[in-house]
Structure 1
Amino acid sequence: MKSRIQLLLLIMILGAPMPVAWAMLHWQVGIPEGHVARGELQHNLPPLSAWPLQDHPEGRWLLIWSAPAVCDVTCQAEADRWWRMHRAMGRQAARVERVRLSEQEQTLLPGETLALWQSARLPGVEDYQVWLADPQGNIVTRYPAGVDLRAVHKDLEHLLKRNPES
């Protein structure tokens, strides 16, 4: 009798996950939230190669932010924020290039690249917006001006983790 009880107990323990999983799915209880990007994914922006820029860097992940034509104190503070976020990435920082979009030459921070507009900006591109672009130049996510740096940092870490170096 003792061995039958042990066998039934073993069958119940090994068979329990399937009915529990079915119940969780059926009643939508206890299902963890999926990872959602904190930026805007449906942005309808063309790849960087179609942007009217003099030079558009490719080959690495790009953190692109749009600076005003004249970089004042607010602009320099914003550039410093992005520099600090880039440094916070640690070893992964080498895989990401910071690009500043502007209409005029500006003083850059270390490790930053300047991309100048050849003509008018694209529609919908405003000062202080931020974009993440993949190594092929496709825009992955867009962030509004004044976005929380932690949101961009988490998205970028997630992208780099899911796309290991080749």
Structure 2
Amino acid sequence: MHHRRPVRYARLKVVLLFAIFAAPIVTAWGMVTWNVGIPQGHTAHGKVTIDVPPLEDWPLMASITASEQWTLVLDCGANCVQQQDELWRLHRALGREATRLKRLRVGGDDATLPGETVTVWQSVPSWSIAHSVWLFDPMGRPALAFTQEAATAEILDDIRHLFKVNPI
């Protein structure tokens, strides 16, 4: 009987070691199989698939060229004072990252806010929707589109995420 006791403890140690190393694998398999406890990735609030041409091809009175900044474009329509003000506040909320963004307003008769460039359509394109907001990357390619119903906080969240994943 004296010899069986060390064998039992040796077997117990092996089983415990196996359980310790197998537990994370079994847990991960269970998480994937039943979709439990998996963190959700960041998803854009804006529309990612956008049917608009690059910014330099837009029929605007002022020529817009690519720069090292992202461009937030507001298609103002007739009256967009509140939306214009919200985007100005959004720009300020970026803090030290604000220099990475420029704002362009197309249309509207309202006063120009600080940091905003204003132009008008040469001819209104078929894809233009009043009060829409588009975000263009520094190369002038469309990155995100937002409808008038999009909350400014959601637009800000998307911009911050894009700045984080594109540090340059």
Q: CA deviation at 1:117?
A: 1.8
Distance 1:15 1:115 in 2: 63
Distance 2:12 2:49 in 1: 57
Q: CA deviation at 1:13?
A: 1.9
Query: Is residue 4 of structure 2 the alignment partner of residue 9 of structure 1?
Result: no
Q: Which of 50, 53, 65 in structure 1 is aligned with 2:74?
A: 65
Query: Is residue 42 of structure 2 the alignment partner of residue 30 of structure 1?
Result: no
Distance 1:44 1:105 in 2: 27
Q: C-alpha root-mean-square deviation of aligned residues, in Å?
A: 2.0
Secondary structure of 2:138's partner? Answer: coil
Q: CA deviation at 1:23?
A: 2.1
- 1:69-120 CA distance string (max 9 Å, x none): 5x5xxx2222111111111111111101111112x775311111123322x2
Contact 2:56 2:66 (C-alpha < 8 Å) held by counterparts: no
Instruction: Name the counterpart of 2:63.
Output: 55
Distance 2:47 2:161 in 1: 15
Contact 1:105 1:116 (C-alpha < 8 Å) held by counterparts: no
Equivalent residue letter for 2:113: L
Contact 1:37 1:155 (C-alpha < 8 Å) held by counterparts: yes
What TM-score do the two structures reach when normalised by structure 2? 0.84
Equivalent residue letter for 1:56: I
Secondary structure of 2:103's partner? Answer: strand
Query: Is residue 108 of structure 2 the alignment partner of residue 99 of structure 1?
Result: no
Q: CA deviation at 1:32?
A: 2.5
Q: CA deviation at 1:37?
A: 0.7
Query: Is residue 50 of structure 2 the alignment partner of residue 43 of structure 1?
Result: yes
Q: CA deviation at 1:27?
A: 2.6
How many residues are treated as equivalent by the alignment?
A: 159
Query: Is residue 160 of structure 2 the alignment partner of residue 157 of structure 1?
Result: yes
Percent identity between matched residues is 37
Equivalent residue letter for 2:75: S
Structure 2 gap ranges (5+): 1-5
Q: Which has the larger radius of gyration?
A: 2
What TM-score do the two structures reach when normalised by structure 1? 0.85
Equivalent residue letter for 2:66: E
Instruction: Name the counterpart of 2:120.
Output: 116
